[in-house]
Structure 1
Amino acid sequence: MTTLKAEKRAWQSLKQPPPELPPLFPSSESNAQLPLPDASLLDSEEAQILTTLTDPSTALNPQKIQSRLQALQNSLDFRIDHLSDNVQKLEHRVKTGGLQADRVLALSAARLKEREEKERASAGTKDMPVMEVLRSLGRILPPESGGGG
């Protein structure tokens, strides 16, 4: 009965509104007061982006930004196509490699079976079951070697 009450309380707590949390992003007025990150702690690309954004000589011109974004998008489309093509080629090579490996393993297994049959034929045990061969060897070997003697 107590588990039902605890479950009921849990469901009722879910119905209550969540507690007030501070805003995820501060208001635009406080953005001007935020300190800039230390460029020495950033990667070279990040530092270059920071200097581009904070350099007063490069005023944020919407048309300039749009043309730059368009150029980046065009090069990104090409890079994605190139990546997709390479992934497709890699998948094809993996599939082909798998097929070749299967073929090599099948040929090796056939060759091994052929060799085993030749050895059994040369030993005169071709038609004997393996257990019978092992029993015969056990009777031949001396007792200290594990034979039945």
Structure 2
Amino acid sequence: MAKSTKKVPTTKAASEDQVMLDNALGQIEKMFGKGAIMKLDPNENSGGFPGISAGALSLDLALGGRGFPRGRIIELFGPESSGKTTLALHAIASAQKEGGIAAFVDAEHALDPQWARKLGVNLDELLVSQPSYGEEALQITEMLIKSNSVDIIV
């Protein structure tokens, strides 16, 4: 039977590694902000994020029990007429019902206000942008994100 050749770090080597790691973590936090890197708490519920309901209990449960996580970029992908916009409008309605502010960047100029209203969207409170080109849509979205005052952007 072969013997393991893996060396167990000495206390001195381990403490040097810890110092180097602490320096690297400090640089990361200085450059990218507090919370840019962290250890996960194994005792924390894996679904411990605040969320916005997707408007369907089964989907909320599949997403960890709280719907779409706040502060994250979520991509809804699928073929034409598969329900992506309907799902996004349900999420907007959920956010508004919780008192949140919602924005819809309508790059395709295809938002149907009557359908949105039927799904529970408060059109009087919905921020809508119909940008002329893609870069404008991204700039508007970035400004809304940086304002840190909008709960959901579609």
Q: Which TM-score band applies after superposition, normalised by the shorter structure?
A: under 0.3
Q: Of the two, which has the highest radius of gyration? A: 1
TM-score, length-scaled by structure 2: 0.21
Higher relative contact order (CA 8 A, sep 6+): 2
The structure with the greater share of residues assigned to helix is 1
The structure with the greater share of residues assigned to strand is 2
TM-score, length-scaled by structure 1: 0.21
